[in-house]
């Protein structure tokens, strides 16, 4: 899903029947730095991986396609680990969140006369089949629950975003009717734009932090303490954690069941489990091992473009997660980081840079970072002039540059291949590219990828399955009078009421190879 040179390397992979001789290229964002708290150093890594399915530019790729793939689908992973002397257990923590376009059939016509083109909602998917496929795919990748944070406007003088808000809510309600109550999609809606205008940036981030804390309470996050003996014995190398075939994806991907399948026998699994979780009396020197933890489910955030407002919400989630991650590592005493903490400012720099990068790739300009600017106390006039310039930059890119950029993406990804007697690339509409290149190739699955057996090093390319959806839910509505006080119920915090509203964008293109700790 995240390997952008899958098409370009397909020939050699099909011939060799493995991926040993190819490098998986990921398109998105990567930043890593060493941070310190009270003299204890730890490494912080932020990765954003863009999906190659239904990939493109802002106005030319909107909503969902027939296969349930959405535009601007990005998986964000936040990894924290502490540098320790040789011979000591190494602690690693990771948390994943997702962003993606509203999974409905909708579009906006590129206009050179209108900065804000009308939103066109198609009625061709009355049973929300594509929307359902999208959430089934999320459940296969992440397990459950799937928590949806929808940040678009609820009320407008001229309906634009609010059209999608109502239809999205209808879609979730329709899909939940066919799911058991425990598998319902959790739908949270909050108009971020409205609250940004009426509240200070601090209040907005505090409220989003409560939503993030709720999501983390029910999904959890990944934590593992790795012993030197575990590393020396090679237990963390594939196939234990990554060599899953398509059938494994019907089980939540972080489950110990998946690990057990790839151990030679029950004894191997028991030994691995003991080493990972510390068993009853396992220790390395005087350092007792802590139990491992796994993330089950994911928070999916969207606004209209999934750039500006979405990035603010993802920062709030990242900050809430960082507190829990550092607490699990034993770096801080409380599992929460205050907004005024210097560490919160450093993390904001990570997410601001990521937001700018993704916005440049999808929208053509840096992100609108109004809330971040307010938090830093930036001069209001300077912020407004910067926002205006970025709006013009995005308009120019969308109106004059994106068509050529979209064509290049479709050629690179193999969605268009020139053929004699067939239309030229510039003669096709954007949505036609997906079917234009299929030439009856063999050894391909329905997504045009090779179906050969992966070698032990093939963890970067994971095949999809068609197993049924498994997603839990508590339906929620983030409303004008948002009540974010949590209640303890069955050992979990349940967010009170949240009803309708949030928005979008910026930065540079980075292609890199990454071995993810939290395999998706």
H helix runs in 177-243, sequence order: 192-198, 201-219, 228-232
Residue whose structure tokens are 């990570």: 350
Task: Tell me the C-alpha to C-alpha distance, in Å, between residue 244 and each of 240, 260, 459.
Answer: 9, 11, 8
Q: Which two three-digit tokens encode residue 508?
A: 């540079």
Q: Which candidate, 198, 346, 48, places its Cα nearest to that of 337? A: 346
Using pLDDT thresholds of 50, 70 and 90, give the confidence band for residue 3.
Answer: very high
pTM of the model: 0.74
The pLDDT, as a whole number, for residue 377 is: 66
CB atoms under 10 Å from CB of 116, counted, come to: 12
- Cβ(410)–Cβ(416) under 8 Å? yes
Average pLDDT of 254-261? 39
Of the given ranges (47-51, 95-99, 426-430), which has the lowest mean pLDDT?
426-430
Average pLDDT of 129-144? 95
Q: How far apart are CA 110 and CA 145, in angstroms?
A: 36
The pLDDT, as a whole number, for residue 451 is: 41
Using pLDDT thresholds of 50, 70 and 90, give the confidence band for residue 431.
Answer: low
Q: How far apart are CA 300 and CA 51, in angstroms?
A: 14
Of the given ranges (136-140, 214-218, 499-503), which has the lowest mean pLDDT?
499-503
Using N-to-C axis directions, what is the helix angle for 161-176 and 129-142, rounded to 10°? Answer: 70
CB atoms under 10 Å from CB of 297, counted, come to: 24
Q: Which region, left, alpha or beta, applies to residue 170 given φ > 0 means left and ψ of -120 to 50 means alpha?
A: alpha
Q: Which candidate, 177, 192, 173, places its Cα nearest to that of 478? A: 192
3 state SS of 425: helix
CA 236 to chain centre: 24
Q: Which candidate, 511, 192, 508, 502, places its Cα nearest to that of 362? A: 508
Using N-to-C axis directions, what is the helix angle for 342-362 and 308-329, rounded to 10°? Answer: 140
Residue whose structure tokens are 């998946």: 258
Most confident of 175-184, 261-270, 464-473: 175-184
For β-strands 40-50 and 74-82, DSSP reports them as antiparallel
Using pLDDT thresholds of 50, 70 and 90, give the confidence band for residue 508.
Answer: very low
Using pLDDT thresholds of 50, 70 and 90, give the confidence band for residue 237.
Answer: very low
The pLDDT, as a whole number, for residue 111 is: 66
Is the dihedral angle over the CA atoms 200, 205, 211, 213 positive or is it negative?
A: negative
HSE at residue 389, side-chain half, CA atoms within 13 A, is 9
The pLDDT, as a whole number, for residue 490 is: 38
The pLDDT, as a whole number, for residue 246 is: 34
Q: How far apart are CA 44 and CA 107, in angstroms?
A: 37
Q: Which two three-digit tokens encode residue 387?
A: 């926002």
- Cβ(361)–Cβ(506) under 8 Å? no
Residue 280, pLDDT > 70, answer no
Domain ranges of the chain: 7-226+290-440
CB contact set of 337 (below 8 Å; sequence gap of 6+): 319, 322, 323, 326, 343, 344, 347
Is the dihedral angle over the CA atoms 191, 196, 198, 199 positive or is it negative?
A: positive
Q: How far apart are CA 138 and CA 297, in angstroms?
A: 9
- Cβ(148)–Cβ(188) under 8 Å? yes
Q: How far apart are CA 301 and CA 282, in angstroms?
A: 40
Using pLDDT thresholds of 50, 70 and 90, give the confidence band for residue 516.
Answer: very low
Q: How far apart are CA 235 and CA 274, in angstroms?
A: 12
Cross-strand pairs, 79: 45, 94
End-to-end CA distance of the chain: 9
Using pLDDT thresholds of 50, 70 and 90, give the confidence band for residue 264.
Answer: very low
Q: How far apart are CA 23 and CA 144, in angstroms?
A: 31
The pLDDT, as a whole number, for residue 66 is: 92
The pLDDT, as a whole number, for residue 140 is: 94
Torsion of CA 212, 219, 137, 27, to 10 degrees: 60
Average pLDDT of 405-417? 89
Cross-strand pairs, 493: 488
Residue-wise pLDDT tens digits, 289-300: 688 999 999 999
Q: Provide the mean pLDDT of the chain.
A: 75
Q: Is the peptide bond before 145 cis (omega within 30 degrees of 0)?
A: yes
């Amino acid at each position: 899903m995240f390997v952008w040179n899958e098409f370009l390397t397909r020939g050699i992979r099909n011939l060799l029947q493995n991926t040993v001789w190819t490098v998986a290229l990921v398109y998105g964002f990567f930043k890593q730095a060493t941070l310190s708290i009270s003299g204890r150093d730890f490494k912080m890594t932020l990765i954003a991986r863009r999906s190659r399915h239904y990939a493109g530019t802002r106005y030319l790729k909107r909503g969902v396609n027939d296969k349930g793939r959405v535009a601007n689908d990005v998986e964000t992973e936040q990894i924290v680990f502490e540098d320790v002397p040789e011979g000591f257990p190494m602690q690693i923590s990771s948390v994943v969140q997702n962003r993606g376009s509203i999974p409905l059939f909708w579009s906006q016509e590129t206009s050179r006369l209108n900065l804000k083109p009308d939103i066109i909602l198609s009625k061709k998917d009355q049973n929300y089949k594509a929307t359902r496929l999208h959430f089934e795919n999320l459940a296969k990748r992440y397990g459950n629950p799937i928590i949806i944070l929808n940040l678009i406007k609820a009320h407008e003088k001229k309906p634009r975003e609010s059209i999608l808000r109502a239809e999205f809510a209808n879609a979730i309600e329709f899909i939940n009717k066919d799911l058991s109550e425990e598998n319902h999609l959790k739908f949270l809606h909050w108009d971020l734009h409205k609250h940004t205008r009426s509240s200070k940036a601090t209040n907005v981030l505090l409220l989003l932090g409560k939503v993030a804390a709720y999501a983390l309470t029910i999904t959890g996050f990944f934590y593992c303490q790795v012993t030197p003996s575990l590393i020396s014995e090679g237990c963390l190398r594939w196939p234990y954690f990554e060599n899953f075939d398509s059938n494994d994806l019907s089980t939540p991907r972080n489950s110990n069941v998946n690990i057990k399948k790839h151990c030679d026998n029950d004894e191997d699994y028991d030994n691995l489990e003991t080493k990972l979780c510390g068993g009853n009396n396992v220790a390395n020197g005087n350092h007792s091992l802590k139990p491992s933890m796994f993330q089950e489910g994911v928070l999916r955030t969207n606004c209209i473009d999934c750039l500006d407002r979405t990035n603010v919400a993802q920062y709030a989630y990242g900050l809430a997660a960082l507190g829990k991650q550092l607490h699990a590592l034993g770096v801080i005493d409380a599992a929460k980081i205050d907004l005024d903490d210097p560490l919160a400012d450093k993390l904001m720099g990570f997410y601001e840079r990521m937001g700018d990068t993704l916005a440049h790739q999808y929208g053509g300009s840096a992100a609108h970072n109004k809330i971040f600017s307010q938090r830093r106390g930036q001069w209001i006039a300077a912020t407004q002039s910067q926002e205006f310039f970025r709006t013009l930059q995005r308009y120019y890119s969308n109106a004059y540059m994106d068509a050529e950029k979209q064509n290049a993406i479709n050629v690179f990804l193999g969605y268009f291949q020139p053929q004699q007697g067939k239309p030229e690339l510039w003669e096709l509409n954007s949505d036609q590219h997906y079917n234009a290149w299929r030439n009856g190739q063999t050894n391909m699955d329905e997504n045009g990828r090779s179906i050969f057996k992966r070698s032990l090093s093939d963890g970067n390319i994971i095949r999809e399955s068609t197993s049924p959806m498994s997603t839990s839910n508590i339906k929620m509505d983030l409303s004008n009078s948002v009540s974010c006080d949590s209640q303890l119920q069955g050992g979990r915090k349940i967010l009170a009421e949240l009803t309708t509203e949030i928005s979008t964008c910026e930065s540079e293109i980075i292609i890199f190879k990454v071995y993810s700790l939290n395999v998706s």
